[in-house]
Amino acid sequence: MKIYADNAATTALSPKVLEAMTPYLTEIYGNPSSLYQIGAVAKDAVESSRETVAKLIGAKNPNEIYFTSGGSEADNWAIKGVCKALKNKGKNHIITSKFEHHAVLHVCESMEKEGFEVTYLDVYEDGLVRPEDVKAAIRPETALVTIMYANNEIGTVQPIAEIGKICREAKVLFHTDAVQAVGNVPINVEEECIDLLSLTAHKFHGPKGCGALYVRKGVLIRNLIEGGAQERSRRAGTENVAGIVGLAKAMELAIGSMEDRAEKLTKMRDRLIDGLLSTIERSRLNGSREHRLPGNINMCFEGIEGESLLLKLDLAGVSASSGSACTSGSLDPSHVLLSLGLPHEIAHGSLRLSFSDDNTEEHIDYLLKVIPETVEYLRSFSPLWDKIKSE
């Protein structure tokens, strides 16, 4: 059996999305900035995609949506753009959390080199930022609060509306990296007082290389990519027309089927979590189960190391991850798991499974068989497991 269970890393392109994109990769190749027919048709496709994306996140105005090359660009732009715009207004402080994606954390670190001070909030054992901690960290010189909507490794969904309200009351800008959340949980930038929001198409069966940044009207932000007058002179570069069309189509499909899918995936997820916790001794679920993306499982199995577990599962036909795909070249345990307070030796033994609509109950049956077998096999020759058992 072949099981793809790494949808938090990326998803398969939906055939319907490919179909929507194909004309813009073939006959409608015009540059949207050109005046002739095939340029104008491309331009129309970009603008109607913008309207769709705006509507789907509850934005008031399509002009608040800027297309980017993906989530990392959107995060970089949001943080660098706002900080640079507000620096000469006496703002030099950023609030974020310890378990953000590196596209946020590393940008915050680079802002530290430019004279900004950054507060990294704790996320506690349940993997949730406390709104009161945000409130307590806000200062008169705070330029931006950036807290992810849902964590990419452990899938915990943050109290975004509460944080948004606190920021709005304190008149501080609020950015959220919603790359993992869009299409999986309902989002409304107006109701949740979000000023900037990052998203990317490939996390919900859209194409890679296309994302968007929502920027509320009136938010001061400097450009990240300078050049031509595309995106109302805010983001240069000839539009990725097919990508943008694919982004909008994928988002429409994902959000349209969100409720049913959430119900199905939550049921599958919980059956797998309960099954693994009850059959594998010294295993744990990382992060809150209640405030969690429907398709995310992140567990630790003591006495084994994550990469060997993944390789063994791969040989058994299962594509999974030990954490973020973006850090797989690193030897260090996940910064997300360490932020939950897990010791290094336990954080090394993590497994992330992330499901989509393509996964089935048969997959769960197979995983309930193959994961305990693999853990038991690796433990059978683990000197660490011997030590744990003899304690």
Residues found near another protein in the complex (CB under 8 A): 303-308, 311-312, 315, 328-333, 343-345, 348, 381-386
Rank residues 64 and 153 by Cβ distance to another protein and give the closer one.
153
Nearest CA among 152, 380, 379 for reference residue 286? 152
Instruction: Give 118's strand partners.
Output: 94
Rank residues 56 and 375 by Cβ distance to another protein and give the closer one.
375
Nearest CA among 210, 221, 123 for reference residue 175? 221
How many angstroms from the chain centroid is the CA of residue 261? 18
Integer Cα distance of 89 and 203 in angstroms: 36
Instruction: Give 113's strand partners.
Output: none
Q: Are 364 and 271 in contact (CB under 8 A)?
A: yes
Rank residues 35 and 315 by Cβ distance to another protein and give the closer one.
315
Q: What angle do CA 325, 327, 331 make, to 5 degrees?
A: 130
Integer Cα distance of 258 and 261 in angstroms: 5
Largest separation between any pair of C-alpha atoms in the chain: 77
Tell me whether residue 210 is one of the annotated catalytic residues.
Answer: no
Q: Shortest Cβ distance from residue 312 to another protein (Å)?
A: 8
Rank residues 133 and 345 by Cβ distance to another protein and give the closer one.
345
Q: Are 241 and 22 in contact (CB under 8 A)?
A: no
Name the residue type at position 25.
L
Q: Shortest Cβ distance from residue 207 to another protein (Å)?
A: 25
Rank residues 264 and 348 by Cβ distance to another protein and give the closer one.
348
Q: Give the β-pairing of 142-146 and 117-121.
A: unpaired
Q: Which residues contact 82 (CB under 8 A, 6 or more apart)?
A: 143, 144, 173, 175, 196, 219, 220, 221, 222
Rank residues 123 and 347 by Cβ distance to another protein and give the closer one.
347
Rg, Å, the chain Cα set = 22
Q: Shortest Cβ distance from residue 116 to another protein (Å)?
A: 24
Collapsing DSSP to helix, strand or coil, 92 comes out as coil
Q: Shortest Cβ distance from residue 314 to another protein (Å)?
A: 10
Q: Shortest Cβ distance from residue 385 to another protein (Å)?
A: 7
Integer Cα distance of 360 and 353 in angstroms: 13
Rank residues 49 and 374 by Cβ distance to another protein and give the closer one.
374
Q: Shortest Cβ distance from residue 95 to another protein (Å)?
A: 25
Q: How many CB atoms lie within 10 A of CB 31?
A: 15
Integer Cα distance of 44 and 80 in angstroms: 30
Name the residue type at position 328.
S
Q: Shortest Cβ distance from residue 349 to another protein (Å)?
A: 9
Catalytic residue selected from 108, 167, 193, 326: 326
Integer Cα distance of 173 and 152 in angstroms: 23
- Catalytic positions: 326
